[in-house]
Amino acid sequence: MRIHGHRAARIDPLDLIHREEVTAFNPNRYGLGLSKEGMKELFDVNGIIWTRGVSQGKEEELWTLEDIVKRLRGVYVGNIGYDFMHSPSKTERLWFSHLLESQSLPSPDDHPLSIIDDQKRRRVNELLAQSEVLDNFLQAKFPNLKRYGLEGGESMLPALDASFGAAAARGVRHAILAMPHCGMLNLLTDLLRYPPSSLFHKIKGGSELPEDLGVGADMLSDLDSMLVCSRL
């Protein structure tokens, strides 16, 4: 499953893409689990699955074949496809497999939305809707503007929102974010609370700086913002 798991991973949340049936996942192919009793057969998982830290010893740890398969499917055939076994570096391959398998990851049978409460869903919907509205408005109002929209990448906003919130909850006080131009205006207005009126003023040729300063303004694609909050 380390080698072929990404081929059957659920990387399409709408399940519109056909998920490949990988015969290599079937224990019967290797003469294992040919019966219900066979699936309950015990194996020492040392050398099969990483279940503990590298420095925590290699005491015998017996798992049933059924649990081994379930664990590996939960790691490699879930909502993320991990494709790393082609690396020529054995050290890299071991590092990836240990990182993935030694952590408690959800089973692919657990629907991802089941762990998102209604408040978080509304927050995600709010960010996606705001981004879509901004892109559509700028396209209609300023059709000749090179605006570096976020179409197709809207998931960036909920991802950053969750990252900022988790960081703030763990005591992170300062974060500096550098990013490409695409989606920057969406991030500024939707997540960093840059005033849309100031953005439109800038688009129309105005300056984000007071005129009495006598300094040149920045490019639209280089606008920045600072937000201070305890939790986004």
Name the more confident of 231 and 20.
20
Q: Whole-model pTM?
A: 0.52
pLDDT interval class at 115 (50, 70, 90): low
Of 31-35, 67-71, 172-176, the range with the lowest mean pLDDT is 31-35
Supply the pLDDT for residue 56.
58
Of 124, 180, 134, 178, nearest in space to 155 by CA: 124
Is pLDDT above 50 for 21?
yes
Of 93-107, 178-192, 217-231, the range with the lowest mean pLDDT is 217-231
pLDDT interval class at 93 (50, 70, 90): very high
Is pLDDT above 60 for 208?
yes
Is pLDDT above 90 for 123?
yes
Contact 149, 139 (CB under 8 A): yes
First to last CA, the chain: 38
pLDDT interval class at 231 (50, 70, 90): very low
Longest dimension (CA), the chain: 83
Give the E-state strand segments of 113-198 in sequence order: none
Q: What is the mean pLDDT of residues 120-125?
A: 92
pLDDT interval class at 133 (50, 70, 90): very high
Contact 9, 78 (CB under 8 A): yes
Sign, CA dihedral 13-125-195-198, equals: positive
Supply the pLDDT for residue 83.
93
In whole angstroms, what is the distance from residue 18 CA to residue 39 CA? 28
Average per-residue pLDDT for the chain = 81
Q: What is the pLDDT of residues 141-165, one digit of tens each?
A: 888 888 788 888 889 999 999 998 8
Instruction: Please enumerate in sequence order all residues whose Cβ is within 8 A of that of 198, keeping only pairs 6 or more positions apart, or say none.
Output: 208
Q: How far is CA 157 from the centre of its chain?
A: 11
